[in-house]
């Protein structure tokens, strides 16, 4: 079963394609670079914190389990901030959202750096995460603004590859700062980076939203308030997930990403404790393989997803079937993600010494590659399918995933303490396989799922 919109040749000449020629290739590269920098911020905010958890717990007279709740809180705050940022970016445009978030990042980072109690730490982490949060969802919208369909997967892969320098470098930076200076210095640095990004966007970043398509462009000027922003329900994007295919892909992304957190959040208490690594800098260095896997996996998966779209479109005589892009996720979701987390748990429990450590680092790398073989094509799929509301679609995806993630993360350390690393990692692997099943259903029954709830899907003509 195919809809009328799917039966139009993808390369049919269209005036809509002219909108993608507004910026030169060099200008597009600059836009992607700045968008990637903003997308890097939330991952750096979270990644620099994790290796410092033992030192923060000691400094604030608390425990690692309690301080790790700040990770869950920041994930929740990031999801709320992404929903807010995406909703308002559809009305006011991309640039104003960036210029609002980065000052909040600065204030929150200053507050975290000066926190003397756990409640203070939690409060300022919330503000810090809110400020950093629009980068990923709005950045994905920016990619959709400037690249057409058959270029979008590769561009999204490059964006994610740059963004995912966060998991590669942030834990190392956080660990080095914690070991040789103080975890507070890292937080101060994040604040000043936020201000630097603010001025970079102010001076060099153009508005990328398609001309005349913003909510404010279409609104009656007389109806707009003069002294405050228009009030927009930040939860509105979540209503997009009433579409079964969007919900299936979002849930599959969560189940892939939770395996990453199962490996990394308790790393100091699993791999670190098992192999006698107590130096925060070395703990941070152990995160590098996962980050490098992310960096390599994202552009590969993005380019592969473009090739899959082109190939299957050609086989259908020019008919576009959106779920073809998801075929690029299969190897990552079925093999790389679940087996890497499963083997890491078994290695940590049963293989001692340098051999066990080395094999664990390989598992972290494979997991990093696998997670992005799921997330990168899925992100491009969301932008393809909901092009006019791409930032909102990505915020719904990230927001729902992050809300569930904030609950799941809080359970990881207690579960390891009670049941052990093998049971916990096996549970993560099972979730990964369930995620593969959801992706396979979306690929197989995508047209039927879209027919169940049309939430404003894009067509070949307006993508």
The string of DSSP letters for 40-60 reads HHHHHHHHTTGGGHHHHHHHT
pTM beyond 0.95: the answer is no
Q: What pLDDT is attached to residue 310? A: 86
**Is the pLDDT at 16 greater than 70, yes or no?**
no
**Is the pLDDT at 85 greater than 60, yes or no?**
yes
Assess if residue 463 is contained within a domain.
no
Q: Which domain holds residue 327?
A: 4-10+20-214+234-452
Assess if residue 373 is contained within a domain.
yes
Single out the residue of 366, 442, 428, 364 nearest to residue 397, CA to CA: 442
**pLDDT digits over 283-310, tens only?**
777 878 887 888 888 888 888 988 898 8
Assess if residue 457 is contained within a domain.
no
Say what the alpha-carbon torsion angle 291, 152, 216, 39 is, to the nearest 10 degrees.
10
Assess if residue 346 is contained within a domain.
yes
Here the tokens at position 291 are 């980050």
Assess if residue 418 is contained within a domain.
yes
**pLDDT digits over 29-46, tens only?**
899 889 988 888 887 887
How many domains does the chain fold into?
A: 1
**Is the pLDDT at 256 greater than 60, yes or no?**
yes
**pLDDT digits over 44-69, tens only?**
887 777 777 777 888 887 777 677 77
Assess if residue 220 is contained within a domain.
no
Assess if residue 55 is contained within a domain.
yes
**Domain containing 344 — which CATH number?**
1.20.1250.20
Assess if residue 461 is contained within a domain.
no
């Amino acid at each position: 079963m195919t809809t009328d919109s799917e039966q139009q040749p993808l390369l049919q000449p269209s005036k809509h394609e002219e909108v993608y020629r507004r910026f030169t290739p060099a200008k597009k590269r600059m836009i992607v670079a700045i968008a990637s920098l903003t997308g890097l911020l939330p991952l750096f905010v979270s990644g620099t914190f994790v290796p410092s958890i033992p030192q923060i717990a000691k400094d604030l007279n608390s425990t690692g389990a309690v301080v790790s709740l700040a990770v869950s809180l920041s994930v929740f705050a990031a999801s709320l901030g992404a929903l807010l940022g995406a909703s308002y970016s559809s009305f006011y445009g991309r640039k104003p959202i960036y210029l609002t978030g980065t000052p909040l990042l600065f204030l929150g980072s200053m507050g975290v750096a000066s926190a003397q109690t756990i409640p203070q730490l939690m409060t300022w982490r919330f503000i810090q995460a809110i400020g950093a949060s629009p980068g990923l969802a709005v950045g994905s919208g920016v990619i959709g603004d400037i690249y057409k369909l058959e270029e979008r997967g590769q561009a999204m892969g490059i964006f994610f590859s740059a963004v995912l320098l966060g998991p590669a470098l942030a834990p190392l930076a956080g660990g080095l700062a914690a070991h040789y200076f103080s975890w507070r210095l890292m937080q101060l640095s994040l604040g000043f980076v936020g201000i630097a990004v603010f001025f970079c966007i102010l001076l060099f970043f153009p508005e990328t939203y398609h001309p005349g398509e913003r909510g404010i462009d279409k609104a009656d000027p007389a109806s707009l308030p003069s002294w405050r922003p228009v009030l927009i329900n930040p939860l509105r994007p979540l209503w997009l997930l009433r579409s079964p295919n969007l919900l299936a892909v979002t849930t599959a992304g969560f189940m892939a990403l939770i395996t990453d957190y199962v490996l990394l959040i308790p790393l100091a208490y699993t791999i670190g404790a098992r192999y006698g690594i107590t130096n925060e800098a070395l703990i941070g260095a152990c995160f590098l393989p996962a980050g490098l896997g992310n960096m390599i996996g994202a552009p590969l998966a993005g380019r592969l997803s473009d090739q899959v779209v082109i190939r299957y479109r050609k086989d259908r005589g020019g008919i576009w079937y959106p779920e073809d892009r998801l075929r690029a996720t299969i190897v990552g979701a079925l093999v790389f993600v679940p087996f890497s987390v499963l083997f890491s748990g078994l290695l940590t429990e049963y293989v001692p010494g340098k051999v066990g450590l080395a094999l664990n680092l390989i598992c972290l790398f494979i997991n990093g590659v696998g997670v992005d073989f799921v997330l990168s094509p899925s992100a491009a799929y969301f932008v393809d399918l909901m092009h006019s509301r791409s930032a909102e679609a990505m915020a719904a995806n990230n927001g729902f995933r992050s809300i569930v993630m904030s609950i799941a993360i809080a359970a990881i350390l207690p579960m390891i303490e009670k049941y052990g690393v093998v049971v916990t990692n096996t549970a993560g692997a099972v979730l990964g396989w369930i995620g593969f099943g959801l992706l396979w259903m979306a690929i197989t029954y995508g047209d039927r799922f879209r027919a169940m709830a049309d939430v404003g899907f894009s067509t070949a003509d307006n993508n």
